[in-house]
Amino acid sequence: MKEELITKAYEVAKERYAALGIDVEKVMEQLQKVAISMHCWQADDVIGFESGSSLTGGIQTTGNYPGKARNMEELRSDILKAASYIPGKHRLNLHEIYGDFGGTFVDRDQVEVKHFESWMQWAAENGMKLDFNSTSFSHPKSGNLSLANPDKGIRDFWIEHTKRCRAIAEEMGRCQGDPCIMNLWVHDGSKDVTVNRMKYRELFKDSLDRIFATEYKNMKDCLESKVFGIGLESYTVGSNEFCVGYSVQHQKLITIDTGHFHPTESAADKVSSMLLFVPELMLHVSRPIRWDSDHVTIMDDPTLELFQEIVRCNALDRVHIGLDYFDASINRIGAYVIGTRAAQKCMLRALLEPLAKLREYEAAGQGFQRLALLEEAKALPWNAVWDMFCLKNNVPVGEEFIAEIEKYEAEVTSRRN
């Protein structure tokens, strides 16, 4: 009965959108191809599998909801469970600290491809492709400066770490037959007034030059900026201007993290500017509240505008989408599902936008008509299309996944001490 209702609503929606020149079937085909990189660190609050590490580097996870993943088996199980409630085929984004270290200590400058071979095998078996991140935080040598550290020994340590991460990403990309996107973000900065900003940025630039000296074919480098971190409020070495300048000069991807800018900045507005000067973009989508607080992504205006801008720029093939939040205050599998489905809903709404007519109005200077259609488009029956998309992908429609996740919590995660 429910399937019949979904089909009826979908047929009505198809006609409504067709009247505006939108082929809903084509839109669903486009959405099916959009792979979102799920972030492994939501499952365990960014702890990873190194022994005795605690979260540092200007970031923090808030909340103590029971049942977080305690080891690799639990983490993988949770990720697969979350993915089973999300329509489509998606990727997994790994931080270096999630390597398969076999219970032994492997320092960051000693990490090798072998520590991620089981991940590559697991990903292949489960139809997921991998992305990767170097990890400069949560380490005795992290401090406030890593790749920008004046101490040669510490800086060389992090350079070697990041070089090895690129080699791992290259092997991931080769094995999966699709480039692995490797993100480079460091927390480097200062809590208080800094009088030698140039020095640290010169060091950071030199570190990047050394790291990127080796060319690879099966991975893509992206550089991520940040406005500040907790305990590093006054100065960030890898500012937006630094990362944009470096990426443009060296044709690296730029990572736009929606929580890494001033509260009044629009991440969406950056898309068209950056795409004119770099080959591709990487997105880290979260929901900042007052700062980079990494709340679960929802279908809010900033996220919708970001995805609309991707479609309006005709850049689906030039923008990689990943999530980056770590909410420990609610069920972590639920957080995965809410955030990923919200991102997909935003993409669907962006693809369903009556763009041709809107552009026609804009070109003719018909401001009233443009604004009127933008407003009316908000009430179009996109949700009927979303329900059909979920149905076709054999995942729960609407709120059905809530009970499924509650069941998994009762039977699995609640029994973890």
pLDDT digits (tens, 9 = 90+) for 265-290: 999 999 999 999 999 999 999 999 98
From the candidates 224, 309, 327, 353, which is the catalytic residue?
Answer: 224
Whether 52 has a pLDDT exceeding 70, the answer reads: no
39 has binding-site annotation: no
Catalytic site residue 292? yes
From the candidates 139, 260, 270, 345, which is the catalytic residue?
Answer: 260
Report the pLDDT averaged over residues 312-323: 97
Catalytic site residue 284? yes
292 has binding-site annotation: yes
What does the pLDDT read at residue 59? 67
Tell me if 326 sits within 8 A of 46, measured CB to CB: yes
Catalytic site residue 109? no
What does the pLDDT read at residue 134? 97
d(CA 74, CA 76) in angstroms, rounded, equals 5
Report the pLDDT averaged over residues 330-347: 97
Confidence of residue 76 (pLDDT cuts 50, 70, 90): very high
Query: Parallel, antiparallel, or unpaired for β 287-289 and 291-295?
Result: antiparallel
Short-list 71, 64, 42, 6, CA closest to 385: 6
Extents of the domains making up the chain: 34-353
From the candidates 170, 188, 257, 353, which is the catalytic residue?
Answer: 257
Catalytic site residue 115? no
Of the listed ranges 48-52, 167-171, 236-240, the least confidently predicted one is 48-52
Whether 57 has a pLDDT exceeding 70, the answer reads: no
Catalytic site residue 327? no
CATH number of 34-353: 3.20.20.150
d(CA 67, CA 389) in angstroms, rounded, equals 31
Mean pLDDT, all residues of the chain: 94
Report the pLDDT averaged over residues 33-42: 96
d(CA 49, CA 66) in angstroms, rounded, equals 19
Confidence of residue 48 (pLDDT cuts 50, 70, 90): confident
Alpha helices in 285-415 (DSSP H): 301-312, 332-351, 355-363, 367-377, 382-392, 400-411
Catalytic site residue 324? yes
Catalytic site residue 260? yes
269 has binding-site annotation: no
Confidence of residue 53 (pLDDT cuts 50, 70, 90): low
d(CA 341, CA 329) in angstroms, rounded, equals 19
